[in-house]
Every structure is written in structure tokens, then in C-alpha cells.
Structure 1
């Protein structure tokens, strides 16, 4: 984020725009994407190197084998972390990718509800907060 210049202030006054405290909520969304992404990286590494930790149930918790799931989760977690950093720039493409990343992560967490209900519910709730912050208040960061 940048410091407000006289031109920024004049533009905000001219168009009735005002920077609110919700900018901090967007920063929170970026930080949450970084944290959730780092959890996914760790989860992916566990799936790759510690196969006994993640044991699918009879219903087939995972669609892929653990190695494939580990790589997918590892790469997706890195993507989430990069998008979280990009959100601090305030660009539209970063906000769009942030909403996509949080949405995909929430959908992926639905598959783990039976195995880890509390953890999955917390992550889904954080993903919903990220989506809300980026869609409703994301524009304020770029101003």
C-alpha cells in the first residue's frame, strides 16, 4: 500500500470515495491466504513423506492417491501464499485470484469434513472471510 498523495485525496473528495477501516480487513485476508497456504504446503509435505498420517477411510476420503494429493496440495498451497502476497498490491487480478484460491480451498476442505470436522470448519470459515473481504472491501486497498 502506498501513502496518500494530494492527488489521491482530491480524487477521493471529488468522487465521494473514502478510505475506511475495512482496508485492514483486506490486509487480514491477504495474511490469511498466506497462513492457509502455508498450512496446505505442510499438509502436502506430510502427504508426500508421512503416508501413515493421512489414512483414507472406507468411503474413500481422497479421490487421488496420497502422492498425487500431496503434490496437488503442496503446489496449491504455494499458489495461495503467492496470491496472498499479491493482494497487498491492491490489483484487481490479485483479488480475483484470491477469491478463486479461497473458493477452491473451501471446496477441498469439504472432502475432509468427515475426517477433521473442527479443522475443516475453521478453514472454511476463514476462506469465507477472505472471500467477503476481497469482494466487498477489496477495492479500497487500491485507492
Structure 2
């Protein structure tokens, strides 16, 4: 009877050790999955964005940027308190990672995609810094 009890206890102990090995293997496999998220496949970046950019000669520029599914855009710049100072641009855009590039002829403009935001970048594709940096963010409508 004593031998049977020891044999049963040994079998239970071996089973318990084997089940721990199986459960510890699953997290290792999960950590091997590469994170392939970027703006194009994980954010809903298409749509209309608005904001007011600072200006030297007027209170600001109301910006409306619409990114369409067919990779075209419409950009409206309306200078506040200035008559006949509304400009509309259209063209194509590309997205590479979290960087959107607007093409209008030879002119390029750059934006960084965020969660329901587009942040205007300078011509070197760098974020605008300083006291007015927060005014260069467009918000999705």
C-alpha cells in the first residue's frame, strides 16, 4: 500500500511539472511576434482635419485638410480677417510609416500622423518647436 501511494504521488508530481513547461512556452512564442503597426495599417488617418496655424500678418490661418481614400487631398487655407485670402490646393499624398507627404506640383508638405491628429512638420521633416508648436496640430473632425 505504501509503495502504491509513493508511485501515485510521483506520477502526480511529474504531471504537474510537465504542465508548467507547456504553459511557460506560450508567452515566449507571443513575444516573438513583431509589431508591424504604422499609420497606414493601424490608424484611420483618412478624413478631414482642421486647426489654426499662426501667421505674421493676420490673427491666423484656418486650415482644413481632407485626406481621401484614393490618396488625394484637398487643403484649404483661409487667412483670418483678410478678404479674398482663401487658397485651395489639391494633389496626391503618400504615407510612409507615420509620415504623410502632400504633393502639389513640385511643392511638398509633411505631416506626422497621430491618434486623430496630424502634426505639421518643417521642410526637413522635423517637428516645429517653440512656444507656437501646439498650433501646428490639426485635429480630426
TM bracket (short chain): under 0.3
Tell me which protein shows more helix as a share of its residues: 1
Q: TM-score scaled by structure 1? A: 0.28
Query: Which gives a bigger RCO, structure 1 or 2 (Cα 8 Å, sep 6+)?
Result: 1
Tell me which protein shows more strand as a share of its residues: 2
Q: TM-score scaled by structure 2? A: 0.28
Larger of the two Rg values belongs to structure: 2
